[in-house]
């Protein structure tokens, strides 16, 4: 094994060991209790947790079972997330949504689906041609932060006046949307979070 490969292997062992220790402490287990549950000596478990030795897949499987976590959880610290989205100013993707019919301009600023969660951040602009539209309803929750202008925003039976700096967070299954456009142009950030396995 080359020096570079040895370094990579040691780094991997250290990360897996640190994750085992983190999971153990999270469950208030001692080294002795986890070692006993996994059929290992305390000395061997200590070496695994400190990255001094490489555990076999069978050993890692027994540790995962003793910790009541999936085997993959022990490797989570070795993964580097690739979920990142950078959108330069003014370059959000224009999206057609139901509000587009009322001349609401939607710019998608990013999109992340991780596991069972989908998150969609939008920059919404209402100009002189925009119309009120109060009948949005969809799965998930929505967060609105007002950036510019002033609008009245309805959620179910309540109406909120939104000015720059104001925020609104709500269950998006209830009818919602701008009910009065007081000061235009109006711009606000809308972040929608919903179960990732649903159709848009």
Q: What is the pLDDT of residues 129-171, one digit of tens each?
A: 999 998 899 888 999 999 999 999 999 999 999 999 999 999 9
Q: Is 193 helix (H, G, I), strand (E, B) or coil?
A: strand
Element of type H or E holding 62: helix 57-67
Gap between the Cα atoms of 130 and 133, Å rounded:
9
172, 136 Cβ separation under 8 angstroms: yes
Question: Span 3-78: which CATH code?
Answer: 1.10.260.40
Q: What is the pLDDT of residue 15?
A: 83
Q: Is a pLDDT exceeding 70 seen at residue 114?
A: no
Residues in the chain: 200
Query: pTM for the full model?
Result: 0.55
Question: Span 93-195: which CATH code?
Answer: 2.60.120.10
Where are the domains positioned within the chain? 3-78, 93-195
Whose CA is closest to 134, among 118, 158, 166?
158
For residue range 1-15, what is the model confidence (pLDDT) as tens digits?
A: 445 555 656 777 888
Q: What is the pLDDT of residue 180?
A: 96
Q: Is a pLDDT exceeding 50 seen at residue 56?
A: yes
């Amino acid at each position: 094994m080359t020096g570079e490969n040895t370094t990579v292997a040691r780094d991997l062992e250290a990360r897996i060991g640190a994750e085992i220790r983190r999971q153990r402490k999270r469950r208030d287990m001692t080294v002795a209790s986890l070692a006993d549950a996994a059929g290992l000596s305390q000395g061997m478990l200590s070496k695994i947790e400190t990255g001094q030795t490489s555990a076999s897949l069978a050993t890692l499987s027994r540790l995962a079972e003793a910790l009541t976590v999936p085997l993959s959880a022990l490797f989570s610290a070795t993964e580097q997330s690739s979920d990142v989205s950078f959108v330069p100013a003014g370059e959000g993707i224009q999206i057609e949504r139901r509000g587009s019919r009322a001349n609401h301009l939607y710019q998608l600023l990013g999109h992340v689906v991780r596991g069972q969660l989908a998150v969609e951040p939008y920059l919404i602009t209402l100009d002189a041609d925009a119309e009120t539209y109060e009948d949005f309803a969809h799965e998930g929750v929505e967060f609105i932060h007002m950036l510019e202008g002033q609008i009245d925003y309805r959620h179910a039976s309540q109406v909120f006046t939104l000015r720059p700096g104001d925020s609104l967070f709500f269950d998006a299954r209830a009818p919602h949307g701008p009910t009065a456009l007081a000061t235009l142009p109006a711009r606000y950030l809308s972040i929608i979070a919903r179960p990732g396995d649903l159709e848009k």
